[in-house]
Amino acid sequence: MAILFDESKKTFTLHTDHSTYQMQLDRYGYLLHLYYGRRSEGCMDYLLQFADRGFSGNPYDAGLDRTYSLDVLPQEFPVQGSGDYRATLLSLRDESGAWGCDLRYQSHAIERGKYALAGLPAVYAEAEEDESETLRIELKNERTGLRVTLLYGVLPRLDIITRSAIVSNEGSGTVTVDRLGSACLDFVSGDFDLLSFYGRHALERQLCRRPVEHGLLSVGSRRGYSSHHYNPFVILCDRDATETSGRCWAMQYVYSGGFRADCERDGYEQTRLSMSLAGEKFAYPLAPGESLTAPEVILTYSDTGLETISHNLHRCLQKHVCRGKYRDAVRPILLNSWEASYFDFSGESLLRLADEAKALGVEMLVMDDGWFGARRDDCRALGDWSANEEKLGGSLGDLIREVNRRGLKFGIWMEPEMVSEDSELYRAHPDWALAIPGEKPQRSRYQLVLDLSRREVCEEIYKRICAVLDQGNIEYLKWDVNRSIAEAFSHEDKAQGRVLYDYMLGLYDILERLVQRYPDLLIEGCSGGGGRFDAGMLYYSPQIWCSDNTDAVNRLSIQYGTSFGYPVSAMGSHVSACPNHQTGRTTPLSTRGTVAMSGTFGFELDPAKLSEEEKREVGRQIAAFKADAALIHGGLYYRLSDPGRERVGAWEFAAEDGSEALVCAVLQEIEGNMTGSYLRLRGLTPGTLYRCREDGRTYPAAALMDMGFPLPLSLHQYESLTRHFERV
């Protein structure tokens, strides 16, 4: 059993293969957090300490006992107004305007299998190998009739625990939820660092490691989406934790909207880590009989460093979040038309592009922005999803058939959540855009955001997408979003504090219907590149365009940061032209290939502009990727260096059984009379020998892992190296 309830101790214990999570129902009906760490047996309530803490209030039930206070006790679901002055998971108001409520235990149930969430993405378990279990704990407030169902899912072999909560109004009056969180971890002691991943458009998910000091450290997104600026994923770890040592705890939000991750150290040296919906523009009313579900949070623990955290999450996302035909399949190698021609293309030029791509060994042509309506630039026509037949030289179906006849799959770009003011859709339905009445709207990329919190808007978007996809054999859809949400105002008569949450439900509903209707369609998520790179989107699209920045050197740090929480198979990554269109930097074609192959792999250029030698190099890259794709997408990923701090960016893919490894490196900095650089490999089988495919030499595994493999001193700046090691 993964979940145990000890009636005598009133403890709930959740076991995975290598971790234990424990909580206790105390004498007053409060649910206290005891432990989350290395797998352990027994009761950990000895960790609780009780003392009279000045200005820390006491529940009325405690009578004259001033040593009991929720202000200093570790909790599972802290609530505002309970006497806990730290960051909480739930804040609400009743009809009188009174804040807060007192939640007490009512009941619990342990069930086989992993729970699902209505309307929201969530981790799932495969039926044929299902060892998962669900714990439901019911809490209730008698005054308001509010019920909170705490959900815990345990996937033992993955060392994954998931958490969510459902808030239900079983009372007679309306309550308004102003804050709703999914998970909280309380630590009674410890000196920690917090790892978060910040950035901006074209430079996403840069690692930030900070010590947790006294006070509140908060990261999140107020932009309506998870955003380029902060990723909904954090790691708390020991101060001295490394890739291979130290205790680490991760929280990853399975949600694509605004979020907030709080880490707080109080005056008693206790630390709280929590993840919630973004509080700005959120005030969700619940009428009697209504409920609200908190998005899921994935938890995992490691006492062997950061790489174990990453491996746990990679396995979980690859096999238990991603779905469909392409979950386990190597994705087709594609050429996207965007950097090849931007808006300046025709049906004839696309077919020439297809011919060039086919000659290189590319498997799919993707037609990017500019194929529909009056779309000749980014100022117009979003929403008018009908092919410009004059531009394409025929129907969309004709073009698809011609591309297929050349032996290539066909893909298409759309931005369904957005609308241009200069569009037939906007002229017909201006009230379908999120905008404040009487105010000029905030523009971004000259476009507005459609109100997906409204059912009729979602229905129309879905209908228009299907009308496009039904015109031919479209096997790939790039789903883009190119602005943030500034005005969260719906013209539908509703409480405006629910718009952003309902927007995400509308988006997920559209995507789910598409996934069910087109099971062979590969959807790639995109939001100006990596502006919505999260576990929620991976439930519908098994890959996400990692960044609009295709510069190979910048991509080292972008893909490095992304790798902490997300698998390589999810990272959309392409070889692009040089000088690079975003940075102006020139890097060797071989280096661009090495970096792009550590992702889904594709091309973002015009093959006609390549030299004959460059075309041969592209052919070699395609052959190499096909040969190693199973290892790259299915092996264990190891970060061998930090490209933001070291002159070499290096990483490794190793088979789970240690039979082979692929090592990749890029030299970022060059200097006179260079000193040597050695890469210490990981994931090999100790006591065995490995033969290097490139130089034919045999190397002892222990030495490769202890002292490393030397990079040639002849490498030049931005030059790359790949080495394949196979166990003898």
Q: With contact defined as beta carbons under 8 Å apart, do 618 and 574 qualify?
A: no
* Residue of 534, 551, 606, 617 marked active site: 534
Residue with tokens 């005005």: 487
The Cα 642–Cα 560 span in angstroms is 7
Phi, psi of 389 (to 5 degrees): -70, -25
Whether 359 and 607 have beta carbons less than 8 Å apart is answered as yes
Q: Residue 285 CB: number of other CB atoms within 10 A?
A: 18
- Enumerate residues 6+ apart whose C-beta is below 8 A from 455: 506
> Which of 582, 544, 580, 583 has its CA nearest to residue 562?
544
Helix, coil or strand: residue 410: strand
The sign one gets for the Cα dihedral 335, 341, 344, 347 is: negative
Spatial separation of the C-alpha atoms in residues 353 and 361, rounded to whole Å: 13
- Enumerate long-range contacts of 136-139, CB under 8 Å, 24 or more apart: 136/108, 136/109, 136/111, 137/12, 137/31, 137/76, 137/105, 137/107, 137/108, 138/105, 138/106, 138/107, 138/108, 139/31, 139/77, 139/103, 139/104, 139/105, 139/106
How many Cα atoms sit within 13 Å of 602 on the Cβ side? 28
> Does 614 participate in catalysis according to the annotation?
yes
Q: Is 329:150 a contact under the CB 8 Å cutoff? A: no
Buried b (16+ CB within 10 A) or exposed e, 6-19: eeeebbbbbbbebb
Question: In degrees, to the nearest 5, what angle opens at C-alpha 538 toward C-alphas 537 and 541?
Answer: 85
Beta bridge partners of 678: 710
Q: Are 295 and 253 in contact (CB under 8 A)?
A: yes
Catalytic site includes residue 129:
no
Cα–Cα distance for residue pair 573/548, rounded to 1 Å: 9
620 C-beta neighbours (distance < 10 Å), count: 14
Q: Which two tokens stand for residue 183?
A: 């998970």
Which two three-digit tokens encode residue 302?
A: 């490691």
Interatomic CA distance for residues 350 and 341, integer angstroms: 9
Q: Which of 531, 9, 477, 588 is nearest to 224 (CA)?
A: 531
Cis ω for the linkage preceding 579 (within 30 of 0): yes
One-letter amino acid at 367 equals: M
DSSP state letters, 561-578: HHHTTS-GGGEE--EE-S
At position 582, the amino acid (one-letter code) is: Q
Say how many C-beta atoms besides its own lie within 10 A of residue 511's C-beta. 23
3-state secondary structure 243-292: CCCECEEEEEECCCCCEEEEEEECCCCCEEEEEEECCCCCCEEECCCCEE
Pick from 414, 528, 510, 390: nearest CA to 469: 414
* Geometric angle at alpha carbon 97, from 95 and 98, rounded to 5°: 105
Concatenate the DSSP letters of all residues of 175-199 into one string: EEEEEEEEEEEEESS--EEEEEEEE
197 forms beta bridges with 207
Query: Given 45, 178, 422, 614, which residue is catalytic?
Result: 614
Positions marked active-site: 534, 614
